[in-house]
Amino acid sequence: MEPAQLKTAVMNIVNTSRLIVQFMLNKNLENQAERSRQQQRGDDSDEDIDMEFYRTAGPGALEIMLLMGQVIGMERRFWARETSTDWWDRIVLQVWDDSQWLRNFRMRKGTFMELCDLLSPALKRQNTRMRAALTVEKRVAIALWKLATPDSYRSVGNQFGVGKSTVGAAVMQVAKAITEVLLHKLVTLGDVQVIVDGFAAMGFPNCGGAIDGTHIPILAPEHQGTQYVNRKGYFSMVLQALVDHKGRFTDINVGWPGRVHDA
């Protein structure tokens, strides 16, 4: 919700509450006056007076005020802006071929669908009365698009017809699901002898893997920020990866502060 919309909603609630309180006070004064008159006349019991007060100032007071026109109903407003998902539903899913999928998502459509099936138990969400949940396919596609391109969250959100906060949530959810569901299944050491023989055939005898590291940019931490400034001058964490002779990951380690030396 935009700040202006939030401010309007709060003011509406405050104004409505003020009307309710004022009406309750007025009814209370009227009931007290009526109580005094009836006690002077002696024509009604205290129990009848208490029941009348309960009916006018009790749990049903709001309904009574609405019926009496004391509270003016306000027209509901949509809190979500209108967006379009035609590009994803009609173009990407139905028209794009494998070459377009490979250029934009770094994988073919078949691989993408297989990935969605594997991550579905961790990413599937239930629909609510407010809106339908994002499908697993769309959630994964948003995360892959953000990771594969330099687009901003707002740009990706406009592309898929969602808000920028939804894009951020999708990226974190998919990354977490990949770590929990797939990392230990797909990133394994494998047959060491096969890997050594493969490197030997490429001209690198007695080699069990190719290792390197990279810096992942991060926001400045609240504490010990200087520990995360790398030699290139920005905040980062170090990722180290090991691959076999076919370029498949066999080990991954991430989390060291950017200032740490590669050794």
Per-residue pLDDT reduced to its tens digit, 72-91: 555 555 555 667 788 998 99
Per-residue model confidence (pLDDT) at position 37: 75
State mean pLDDT over 145-164: 91
* pLDDT band at residue 26 using 50, 70 and 90 as cut-offs: confident
Specify the range with the lowest mean pLDDT, choosing from 104-108, 133-137, 185-189.
Answer: 185-189
Per-residue model confidence (pLDDT) at position 110: 94
Per-residue model confidence (pLDDT) at position 1: 58
Residue linked to tokens 């129990």: 47
Specify the range with the lowest mean pLDDT, choosing from 4-18, 68-82, 128-142.
Answer: 68-82
State mean pLDDT over 133-141: 93
State mean pLDDT over 244-251: 92
Per-residue model confidence (pLDDT) at position 53: 46
Q: What percent of the chain has pLDDT over 70?
A: 76
Cα end-to-end span (Å), the chain: 48
* pLDDT band at residue 97 using 50, 70 and 90 as cut-offs: very high
* pLDDT band at residue 262 using 50, 70 and 90 as cut-offs: confident
Per-residue model confidence (pLDDT) at position 3: 66
Per-residue model confidence (pLDDT) at position 55: 52
Per-residue pLDDT reduced to its tens digit, 197-223: 999 999 999 999 999 999 999 988 888
Domain boundaries, the chain: 85-186, 192-257
Is residue 64 over pLDDT 70? no
Annotate the chain with three-state secondary structure.
CCHHHHHHHHHHHHHHHHHHHHHHHHHHHHHHHHHHHHHHHCCCCHHHHHHHHHHHHCCCHHHHHHHHCCCCCCCCCCCCCCCCCHHHHHHHCCCCCHHHHHHHHCCCHHHHHHHHHHHHHHHCCCCCCCCCCCCHHHHHHHHHHHHHCCCCHHHHHHHHCCCHHHHHHHHHHHHHHHHHHHHHHHCCCCCHHHHHHHHHHCCCCCCCCEEEEEEEECCCCCCCHHHHECCCCCEEEEEEEEECCCCCEEEEEEEEECCCCCC
Query: How many C-beta atoms surround the C-beta of residue 252 within 10 A?
Result: 13
Per-residue model confidence (pLDDT) at position 66: 53
